[in-house]
Structure formats: structure tokens, C-alpha cells
């Protein structure tokens, strides 16, 4: 890890994470670790068919504490609102339960019993009749004439269609004028987020207080609280959501699912706590998936490789209904399509399609992984067609640092950075790489790069409103110095393994001149935390939430120095706060102890005129812009011609995510992100039969990377502060996942030039590659 600026203090320091000892000794408090007196257990009843109607739901033979079927649930709930609404989108809310089933896994009832095993037994005794109809899983098949209709009353499976960016006349004009147009159909299949901890919830209704307390594994406690209250016709103050330790989210826990509402409803009906823990099969079928899009994409350029235009026609699979974010991932693919390149013309058309599959929503990378796959594959294909170096082609077309800030044709205001430097750093690493020669002549080796700019830290609220995203983009921090001098930080963002509890504490401790162990960061409880509309999504916890902690901590520091200045009869600007002491700058002998000053302040003593005794500051951070980190990655791969097996031999990352608060944590975010991207590149695909019956429902048939699959990575970092974010941080949670599939895909294409133009779809599994290799005649002789 190297940075350009070594600065004193806790920011920029690889301190060990504050929560780890607890997690290491088995004292985490994940949702299934919580038990309470009288707690009952729920199982969700789900559709086993992709399309059809619930014709009867008979509970007569079912021994259970409570059974609720579709009709009772529908009558007791209001539909869950969609959050991101596309232009022309008619479906803006989704019923909690319906007799019409449209995917396998759709909840149609809930059974509650004293134990989970008894609840599962009881489900077997329900008599449910389902009248099956034809279903369709693939978005292109769903558009064919005569395809089964997910919503017959609509007359078509198209959910919504809209363009992004430059108008089609301009795009076509640029394409027609170009010497070279590289045109491909690329596909990004469906991904299952697969945090190791599945979803889970415990709900408890207090009839005296008329308050519902909901413990949940979630990334977005306030957002979930609002939607529970809405759907159950409660006031917001009647619902408190508490998230403890969250065992990974990756986007799959960023909103309220119908399942979780059913548990709340059951707890209210029974008057006792009810727990539901999703099992792994349910995670494969009932938790929203990510990706699933076809891109018919074109990149146009002059003879010398100067880019002229990029365009993609996206056919995106919505699944059975609009998820909370609906077309959001397809839209983000479109707006981030140009990446770091000077593209005078850029645009996309989006066609979002209903199918009889689990709805698609957020997953790490959110549309940007798809954009990187499409763009970076086209760039490497262009280099091949032009006979140019892929690195030179990139360097030629990248924005220079002196061109920033600028607004792209797809309305992104790129803020700061030096995109070419990341490319140069990786290029130097690759040039210095001396791979061991292959073990046999049947092993091919290839090295390639991919690069990207990323959209992190939603986001100015007004900008979100313009694109139909109905969640506020600000974050609030409350920072309080307690009477004993310890510090309490409260924020609405959420920890889910990314270490935000530690990095927020670093920001506060750094500004307040106290040791890290004197700071406690409290997250996840709507009864305590300031309101957060969007929570921990979109790589925003550090940029937006951290920016708020920076400002609130600075305000508190200034207040403490004002009080000290009055006491010491010096100007606050002449004072500094270091390691629990306040003294005149450069003169440690003068001054006062922080703890004594704080204790007396809370007693209401020694305060200057007009100063209140509370040492608590709150700051609402509405960011002025999205922040745009960027990176270049490179992969070295070996491909076995006889098996189609790929090994990733080496991997390099050069990255700029603005000011790095904790280099060790940032490295960890990138390593983990790259591993998920490697899974996309080589292994992961949620499979459906043509009619919508899911075919991958266990970790035996949906493979995620193992230690033996993921190489040791080499990383270079440098820092260009985000100009619009207090503290200068940019987001870092998703970049690794976004660009890794393209780097690996390009490396495989480099290893196999005979089939490079057909490297268009992930996963590049042994079966897919072997087939392409075989068809190219590489198994002959």
C-alpha cells in the first residue's frame, strides 16, 4: 500500500478494526443469534410454480400457532412502494401477497409454530392448489410473438422503454461517419448476491405501547422502517428497526421484502415475538437477484482509433415485477457506459422486460459491472481490429486530468483524478511480470487490462429526484463528547462487514484529538440513529456518511476550542487539541486537560457567553455531487485448451478512491470485490429452465469462488481528493467487482485470439470455453 500523502493522525492509518475481537471469539450478534422469551418461529409458504393461480389455500389439517394465506395477507397490508421509478413506469408498488403467482419463490403465506422444525412440518400439512400456466424466463424469449405473458392485461412483456443520453439521430450520424464500428451482442447473466448470512427478521409487537420492534439483517434500517409502517398502516413512530451485526449484504438487504412484512404481521396477530431466518434455497429464489441483461452494443472510431461514439441497446430482465429499484441497474449501465473515455457521442436505449423469474434488484456494482463488461470488451476487440495495443488505444482516448471536471454525454459530472496514471501504473506492473512458462503446449497464457470510472455516494437529493429515485441522498451524523471525554458517534449508515464502524471512528477521533478506543460508533437502530433515507447502498457510507462525521466532529472541536479559549483567555484559533490536551500551539506547557474542560462544560460551567452546555454537534451532509473513483485492473490467465479451465495467475489493481481513511480496509474492500468479480467472470450464473423453474438453488450448482480460485493481488493506490466531499473520500465498496470480469474476460480473449470475438458472455466456465475452443478447431491434430 502506497499513498502520495503521508499525514499524521488516524486518517490514513491502517488501524485494526474495532469490532473484530467480538466477531473472532463468537460474540457477534447476528439476527439468528437473538432469542427472546416466548419467541415463535415462522416459515414462509412460497409458490413452487413459475406462473399460475392459487386456487385454494386450506389450513384445516395444519397444526400451527398461526397460518396466514394470500387473501388474509393482502387484506391486512398495503402494497410495498417502488423506490426508483422509470419514465412511463406504471407499476409503482407491489402487492405483499396475491393469488396470481409469477415466479418460484413468491410468498403466498406464512406458518408460525413453536419451533422452526414444527413450522416446516406444518407447511407440509397445508392443502394448497396451484393452477399452473405457461411461463417464460429469458427476456428475449419473453419478447417473441406468442410468448407467455406475465401480465396478460398489458398485452406485452415490456415493462417500460426509454432512451438515455444523446438522441438516436446523433448516435446514428456518428456511427455512419466512422471508419470502424465494433458491434457485438454481449450478455451479463443473472447473479445471486449470496452473502454468507441469509436474510432474517424477528418482530415483536408491544400491545401496550402499540409499538412494533423489528430486529433485521438489513443495510437500510430507516428505509425498511418507513415501508413497514406504510404497509402495515402504522405511524412511523410505532415501528423501530434494529440491525445488529449483518453478515454481508452486497445490495440484497437494501430494502423491505414481503417476507419480512409477513413476519411483522404474524407477530402482531400472535402477540408474541416471531423469528424467521431465510434458508439458502430461499436466498436463491426469494432474494432479489442482480444483473441479467443483453447489450447490443457499438463502439465507433476513426481509422487511427479516436473514439467517436458508443451506444448500447439494453434488454434488461426485470423478473416478475419491478423491484424496489426496477430499471435502476439498466439505467446506471447506460449512464456509466462511456467510462474514462472521451466519447463525443454516447447513448443507450433501455427495454425492461417482465419474466417469470425472481425480480432483479441491487447487487454490488449495480449496472456498472455490465457497462464495464460491454465497453471494455468492445475496446479490446477494437484494438484487435485496428491492430493497435489495447493499452495505447485506451491511453489515446482517456480524459486527461486537465480536462476534468467535465460533464459526459450521459450527464455525469466527473469530478477529479488522473485516469491515465492508473493505466500507467498497471502497465508498468504488467511489463515487469515474468510468468513461469506454461506446463504444457496445451496451456495458453494471456494478459489484459480493463478500466473504469465509478459512480459512488448517492447523491445530491435533487439529482436523485430528476432520475426518479425517491430517497433522499443526504446523511446525518451526531457526534457527542460525553462528560468523561469519551466520544459517541451516531449515523444512519449501516455496517455489514465493510468496517465502517472503524473508519467513522477514525474520522471522529482524528478531528477530536482523542484515541480511537475512546470513540464508540453506534449504527443500525432507528430509535437512536439520525434519519437516513438511503442507508448503506451505492458505496455511499464513507463519502456521504463519513462526510457528515467530518463536519459534525469539526464543529464539536471548534466548540470545545471556543470554550477552552474563553477559559484560557486566548483566541480559539491559537489553540490545538492533541491527545486529550488543549494548549497554545507550539507550547504544550500551557493549557488544560480535555476531560476536565468537558466535565465542567456538561455541568454548565466555564462557558463563554451564548454557548450551550451540550457537547453534541449534528451535521446534515447533502453532497454537492456524486464522487467518481476509478481504477485500472489487469489479469494474467492460463487457459487449458483441453478442459477449458481458466486459472487467474496474477492480478493487479491501480486505484484512486480519493482520501483513504484506512488503507488496510480499502485494500480489503478491493480484494473482496475483485473476488466477486472473478466469480462473475468464471463461475456464477443463476440458471432457469425456459419456463421459469429455477435450476441453481444450492452452492453445489451455483459456484462462488474459493481460496484456490483467487490469486494474491498487487495494488497501487494514489489519492485525488473528492472536491465535493468533506474529507475528500470517494467510495470504494464496488469497484473491484465492477471491472474484474472485464479484465479477466479480456485476458482470456488475449490468450485465445482465435475465439476472442466470441468472448461476449459470462461465466467463462470450462463448458462454455471448451465448446468455443472446439468449434475453432483447436482440438484437432
Partner 1 sequence: MTGEPDIRITTTVNDVTVEAQVEGRTLLSDFLRHDVGLTGTHVACEHGVCGACTVLVDDQPVRSCLMLAAQVDGCRVDTVESLGTQDDLSPLQSAMWAEHGLQCGFCTPGILMTVEGGRRAGLDVRQVVEDALPGHLCRCTGYQNIRNAIESYFAQGVQA
If one asks whether residue 209 binds partner 1 (CB under 8 A), the answer comes out as no
Strand partners, 652: 634, 714
Cell reading at 222: 430507516
Q: Report the candidate in 125, 243, 296, 137 with the shortest Cα–Cα distance to residue 500.
A: 243
Between CA 677 and CA 671 the distance in angstroms is: 10
Q: Report the candidate in 604, 585, 605, 506 with the shortest Cα–Cα distance to residue 549.
A: 506
Between CA 105 and CA 119 the distance in angstroms is: 17
What is the per-residue binding string for partner 1 in 609-648, x denoting contact by CB under 8 A? ----------------------------------------
What is the per-residue binding string for partner 1 in 111-130, x denoting contact by CB under 8 A? ----x-xx--x---------
CB 325 within 8 A of CB 84: yes
CB 44 within 8 A of CB 280: no
| One of 107, 305, 361, 497 touching partner 1 (CB under 8 A) | 497
Between CA 297 and CA 287 the distance in angstroms is: 30
Report in angstroms how near the CB of residue 39 gets to partner 1 at its nearest.
Answer: 11
CB 423 within 8 A of CB 632: yes
If one asks whether residue 37 binds partner 1 (CB under 8 A), the answer comes out as no
If one asks whether residue 194 binds partner 1 (CB under 8 A), the answer comes out as yes
Stretch that binds partner 1, among 29-37, 75-83, 261-269, 418-426 (CB under 8 A): 29-37
If one asks whether residue 665 binds partner 1 (CB under 8 A), the answer comes out as yes
φ, ψ at 215 (rounded to 5°): -90, 130
- The phi-psi region of residue 367 (left if phi > 0; otherwise alpha if psi is between -120 and 50; otherwise beta) is left
If one asks whether residue 24 binds partner 1 (CB under 8 A), the answer comes out as yes
If one asks whether residue 36 binds partner 1 (CB under 8 A), the answer comes out as no
Give the residue with the Cβ less far from partner 1, 388 or 671.
671
CB 408 within 8 A of CB 417: no
Report in angstroms how near the CB of residue 270 gets to partner 1 at its nearest.
Answer: 19
φ, ψ at 672 (rounded to 5°): -65, -35
Report in angstroms how near the CB of residue 21 gets to partner 1 at its nearest.
Answer: 4
If one asks whether residue 524 binds partner 1 (CB under 8 A), the answer comes out as no
If one asks whether residue 716 binds partner 1 (CB under 8 A), the answer comes out as no
Between the two ends of the chain, the Cα-to-Cα distance in Å is 48
Report in angstroms how near the CB of residue 249 gets to partner 1 at its nearest.
Answer: 8
| One of 1, 5, 21, 435 touching partner 1 (CB under 8 A) | 21
Give the residue with the Cβ less far from partner 1, 121 or 161.
121
CB 688 within 8 A of CB 192: no
Between CA 392 and CA 305 the distance in angstroms is: 10
If one asks whether residue 244 binds partner 1 (CB under 8 A), the answer comes out as no
CB 77 within 8 A of CB 265: yes
Report in angstroms how near the CB of residue 644 gets to partner 1 at its nearest.
Answer: 20
Cell reading at 591: 493549557
If one asks whether residue 536 binds partner 1 (CB under 8 A), the answer comes out as no
| One of 712, 777, 780, 781 touching partner 1 (CB under 8 A) | 712
If one asks whether residue 707 binds partner 1 (CB under 8 A), the answer comes out as yes
If one asks whether residue 700 binds partner 1 (CB under 8 A), the answer comes out as yes
Cell reading at 48: 413452487
Restricting to residues 251-290, which ones interact with partner 1 according to CB under 8 A?
Answer: 279-280
| One of 79, 95, 163, 668 touching partner 1 (CB under 8 A) | 668
Question: How many residues comprise the chain?
Answer: 781
If one asks whether residue 17 binds partner 1 (CB under 8 A), the answer comes out as yes
If one asks whether residue 706 binds partner 1 (CB under 8 A), the answer comes out as yes
CB 91 within 8 A of CB 159: yes
Give the residue with the Cβ less far from partner 1, 624 or 710.
710
Give whole-number Cα distances, 163 to 84, 88, 350, 351, 548, in Å.
Answer: 16, 12, 6, 9, 35
Report in angstroms how near the CB of residue 498 gets to partner 1 at its nearest.
Answer: 7
Which residues of the shown chain bind partner 1 in the complex (CB under 8 A)? Answer: 16-17, 19-28, 30, 32-33, 35, 115, 117-118, 121, 194-198, 245-248, 250, 279-280, 496-499, 664-665, 667-668, 671-676, 698-700, 704-708, 710, 712-713, 736
Amino acid at each position: 500500500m502506497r499513498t502520495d500523502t503521508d499525514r499524521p493522525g488516524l486518517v490514513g492509518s491502517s488501524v485494526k478494526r474495532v469490532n473484530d475481537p467480538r466477531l473472532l471469539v463468537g460474540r457477534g450478534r447476528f439476527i439468528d443469534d437473538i432469542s427472546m422469551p416466548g419467541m415463535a418461529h415462522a416459515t414462509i409458504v412460497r409458490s413452487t410454480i413459475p406462473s399460475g393461480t392459487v386456487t385454494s389455500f386450506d389450513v384445516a389439517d395444519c397444526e400451527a400457532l398461526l397460518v396466514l394465506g394470500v387473501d388474509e395477507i393482502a387484506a391486512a397490508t398495503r402494497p410495498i412502494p417502488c423506490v426508483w421509478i422509470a419514465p412511463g413506469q406504471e407499476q409503482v408498488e407491489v402487492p405483499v401477497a396475491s393469488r396470481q403467482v409469477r415466479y418460484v419463490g413468491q410468498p403466498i403465506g406464512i406458518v408460525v409454530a413453536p419451533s422452526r422444525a414444527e413450522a416446516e412440518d406444518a407447511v407440509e400439512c397445508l392443502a394448497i392448489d396451484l393452477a399452473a400456466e405457461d411461463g417464460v424466463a429469458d427476456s428475449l424469449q419473453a419478447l417473441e410473438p406468442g410468448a407467455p405473458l406475465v401480465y396478460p392485461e398489458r398485452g406485452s412483456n415490456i415493462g417500460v422503454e426509454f432512451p438515455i443520453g444523446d438522441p438516436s439521430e446523433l448516435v446514428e450520424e456518428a456511427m455512419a461517419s466512422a471508419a470502424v464500428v465494433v458491434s457485438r451482442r454481449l450478455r451479463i447473466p443473472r447473479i445471486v448476491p449470496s452473502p454468507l448470512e441469509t436474510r432474517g427478521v424477528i418482530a415483536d409487537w408491544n400491545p401496550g405501547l402499540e409499538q412494533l420492534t423489528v430486529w433485521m439483517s438489513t443495510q437500510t434500517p430507516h428505509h425498511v422502517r418507513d415501508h413497514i409502517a406504510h404497509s402495515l398502516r402504522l405511524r412511523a413512530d410505532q415501528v423501530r428497526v434494529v440491525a445488529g451485526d449483518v453478515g454481508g449484504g452486497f445490495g440484497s438487504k437494501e430494502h423491505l421484502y414481503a417476507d419480512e412484512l409477513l413476519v411483522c404481521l404474524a407477530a402482531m396477530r400472535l402477540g408474541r415475538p416471531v423469528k424467521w431466518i431465510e434458508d439458502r434455497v430461499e436466498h436463491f429464489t426469494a432474494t432479489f437477484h442482480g444483473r441479467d441483461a443483453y447489450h447490443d452494443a457499438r463502439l465507433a472510431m476513426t481509422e487511427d482509433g479516436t473514439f467517436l461514439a458508443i451506444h448500447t441497446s439494453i434488454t434488461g430482465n426485470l423478473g416478475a415485477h419491478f423491484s424496489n429499484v426496477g430499471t435502476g441497474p439498466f439505467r446506471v449501465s447506460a449512464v456509466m457506459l462511456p467510462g474514462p473515455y472521451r466519447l463525443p457521442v454516447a447513448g443507450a436505449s433501455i427495454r425492461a422486460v417482465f419474466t417469470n423469474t425472481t425480480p432483479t434488484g441491487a447487487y454490488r456494482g449495480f449496472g456498472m459491472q455490465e457497462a464495464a463488461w460491454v465497453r471494455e470488451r468492445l475496446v479490446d476487440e477494437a484494438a484487435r481490429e485496428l491492430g493497435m495495443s489495447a493499452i495505447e488505444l485506451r491511453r489515446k482516448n482517456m480524459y486527461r486530468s486537465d480536462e476534468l471536471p467535465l460533464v459526459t454525454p450521459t450527464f455525469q459530472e466527473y469530478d477529479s483524478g488522473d485516469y491515465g496514471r492508473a493505466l500507467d501504473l498497471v502497465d508498468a506492473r504488467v511489463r515487469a511480470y515474468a510468468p513461469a512458462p506454461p506446463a504444457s503446449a496445451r496451456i495458453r497464457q494471456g494478459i489484459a487490462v480493463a478500466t473504469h470510472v465509478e459512480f459512488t455516494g448517492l447523491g445530491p437529493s435533487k439529482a436523485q429526484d430528476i432520475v426518479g429515485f425517491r430517497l433522499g441522498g443526504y446523511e446525518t451524523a451526531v457526534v457527542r463528547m460525553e462528560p468523561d471525554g469519551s466520544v459517541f458517534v451516531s449515523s444512519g449508515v449501516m455496517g455489514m462487514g465493510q468496517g465502517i464502524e472503524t473508519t467513522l471512528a477514525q474520522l471522529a477521533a482524528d478531528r477530536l484529538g482523542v484515541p480511537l478506543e475512546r470513540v464508540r460508533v453506534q449504527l443500525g437502530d432507528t430509535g437512536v440513529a439520525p434519519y437516513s433515507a438511503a442507508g448503506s447502498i451505492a458505496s455511499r457510507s464513507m463519502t456521504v456518511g463519513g462526510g457528515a462525521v467530518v463536519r459534525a466532529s469539526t464543529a464539536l472541536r471548534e466548540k470545545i476550542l471556543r470554550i477552552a479559549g474563553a477559559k484560557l483567555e486566548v483566541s480559539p484559533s491559537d489553540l490545538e487539541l492533541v491527545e486529550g490536551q488543549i494548549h497554545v500551539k507550539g507550547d504544550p506547557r500551557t493549557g488544560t486537560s480535555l476531560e476536565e474542560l468537558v466535565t465542567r462544560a456538561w455541568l454548565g460551567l466555564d462557558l463563554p457567553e451564548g454557548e450551550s452546555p451540550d457537547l453534541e454537534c449534528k451535521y446534515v451532509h447533502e453532497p454537492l455531487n456524486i464522487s467518481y473513483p476509478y481504477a485500472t485492473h489487469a489479469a494474467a490467465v492460463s487457459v487449458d485448451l483441453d478442459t477449458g479451465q481458466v486459472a487467474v495467475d496474477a492480478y493487479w489493481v491501480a486505484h484512486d478512491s480519493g482520501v483513504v481513511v484506512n488503507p488496510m480496509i480499502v485494500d480489503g474492500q478491493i480484494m473482496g470485490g475483485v473476488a466477486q468479480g472473478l466469480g462473475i467472470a468464471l463461475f456464477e450464473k443463476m440458471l432457469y429452465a425456459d419456463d421459469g423453474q429455477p435450476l441453481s438453488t444450492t452452492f453445489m450448482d451455483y459456484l462462488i469462488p474459493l481460496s484456490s480460485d483467487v490469486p494474491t493481488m498487487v495494488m497501487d493506490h494514489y489519492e485525488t481528493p473528492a472536491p465535493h466531499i468533506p474529507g475528500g473520500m470517494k467510495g470504494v465498496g464496488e469497484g473491484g467487482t465492477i471491472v474484474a470480469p472485464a479484465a479477466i474476460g479480456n485476458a482470456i480473449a488475449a490468450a485465445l485470439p482465435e475465439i476472442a470475438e466470441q468472448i461476449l458472455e459470462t461465466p467463462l466456465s470450462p463448458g462454455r470455453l471448451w465448446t468455443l475452443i472446439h468449434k475453432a478447431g483447436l482440438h484437432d491434430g
